[in-house]
């Protein structure tokens, strides 16, 4: 499998997604746009596109953030989907997938930063790629927004603070508003990047303080993500062989 990552910031690192790709000996490539890497001209060498998160939103302009070209990323996502590739979006990435399919992103009812449970919907419990998560699962969060929905999309998971946590746009296209890729290393980077996290934790009910976030064992959550990705690879290979 040829996995291509779009990474928007150093601290929005792929974490467990990269660990999974390396452990499975997949071929890995990157567009680190914060280093002004270009996006791929062709999707021929991509089997799975993974679009990471960032502090930007889909309506962030080039003037506001010169290294983030939302329109170009949306066009690439759309091209991958049209070509039958697998696409996974994380946080901002999930919102960009929605935009690519004509569904505008929205603001989450609550800011979420830390580790809080998500609950699988009936659609989620019936989705063979994520139903191994169980009815509830503690996962990472670091967001203010949430992805838009198309007529065909399904909400697979939600949380108390956000009604759209995992979305399936098709059998090969998934959006994760939550951050199942978090590791202690990635969390440390995110905490460094966040302004006044301790003060925010006292103000917002779904924002934890740095100590709480760092104390969590992310191993089980990562393993659940690995199983999802393994199943997605199987479905992709099946679709290609037809």
The class (CATH top level) of 2-241 is alpha beta
Neighbours of 67 (CB within 10 A): 15
Q: What is the mean pLDDT of residues 120-129?
A: 98
Where helices occur in the chain by DSSP H, the ranges are 16-23, 70-82, 92-100, 122-125, 184-193, 197-203, 210-215, 219-241
Give residue-wise pLDDT tens across range 68-116.
999 999 999 999 999 999 999 999 999 999 999 999 999 999 999 999 9
CA distances 234 to 5, 21, 172, 238, 241, Å, are 19, 14, 10, 6, 11
Q: What is the pLDDT of residue 229?
A: 98
Whether the predicted pLDDT of 45 surpasses 80: yes
Q: Can you tell me the mean pLDDT for 182-205? A: 95
Q: How far is CA 221 from CA 52, 143, 155, in A?
A: 17, 18, 19
Percent of the chain whose pLDDT exceeds 70 = 100
Collapsed DSSP state (helix, strand, coil) of residue 202:
helix
Q: What is the DSSP letter of 201?
A: H
128 CB-near residues (< 8 Å, 6+ apart): 231
What strand order describes the sheet that includes 86-90? 27-32, 2-7, 48-51, 86-90, 173-176, 166-170, 154-159, 106-120, 136-146
| C-alpha–C-alpha distance, residues 120 and 14, integer Å | 24
**Whole-number Å distance between alpha carbons of 234 and 231:** 5
Reported confidence tier of residue 178, pLDDT bands at 50, 70, 90: very high
Contact 190, 145 (CB under 8 A): no
State the Cα–Cα distance between residues 120 and 198, nearest whole angstrom: 30
Query: What's the whole-number average pLDDT of the chain?
Result: 97
Closest CA to 187 of 88, 114, 239: 114
Confidence of residue 242 (pLDDT cuts 50, 70, 90): confident
The two beta strands, 166-170 and 154-159, are antiparallel
pLDDT in tens, 26-40: 999 999 999 999 999
Helix (H) or strand (E) holding 61: none
Q: At what angle do helices 92-100 and 70-82 cross, to 10 degrees?
A: 70
**Long-range interactions of 98-101: CB distance < 8 A, separation 24+:** 98/58, 98/147, 98/148, 98/149, 98/150, 98/153, 98/167, 98/169, 98/175, 99/58, 99/70, 99/74, 99/148, 100/74, 100/75, 101/150, 101/153, 101/169
pLDDT value at residue 145:
94
pLDDT for 165 beyond 80: yes
């Amino acid at each position: 499998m040829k996995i291509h990552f779009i990474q928007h910031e150093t601290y929005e690192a792929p974490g467990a997604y990269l660990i999974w790709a390396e452990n499975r000996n997949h071929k890995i490539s990157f567009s680190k746009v914060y280093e002004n890497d270009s996006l791929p001209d062709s999707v021929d060498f991509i089997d799975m596109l993974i679009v990471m998160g960032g502090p930007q939103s889909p309506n962030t302009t080039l003037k506001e953030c010169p290294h983030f070209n939302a329109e170009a990323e949306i066009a690439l996502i759309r091209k991958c989907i049209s070509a039958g590739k697998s696409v996974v979006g994380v946080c901002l990435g999930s919102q960009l997938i929605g935009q690519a399919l004509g569904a505008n992103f929205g603001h989450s009812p609550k800011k979420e930063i830390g580790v809080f449970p998500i609950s699988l919907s009936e659609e989620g419990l019936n989705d063979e790629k994520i139903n191994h998560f169980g009815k509830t699962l503690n996962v990472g969060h670091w967001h203010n927004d949430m992805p838009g929905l198309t007529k065909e999309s399904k909400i697979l998971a939600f949380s108390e603070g956000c009604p759209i946590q995992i979305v399936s746009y098709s059998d090969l296209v998934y959006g994760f508003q939550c951050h199942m890729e978090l590791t202690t290393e990635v969390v440390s980077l995110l905490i460094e990047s966040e302004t006044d996290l301790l003060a925010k934790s006292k103000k917002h009910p779904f924002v934890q303080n740095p100590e709480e976030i760092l104390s969590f064992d992310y191993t089980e959550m990562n393993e659940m993500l690995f199983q999802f990705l393994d199943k997605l690879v199987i479905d992709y290979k099946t679709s290609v062989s037809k």
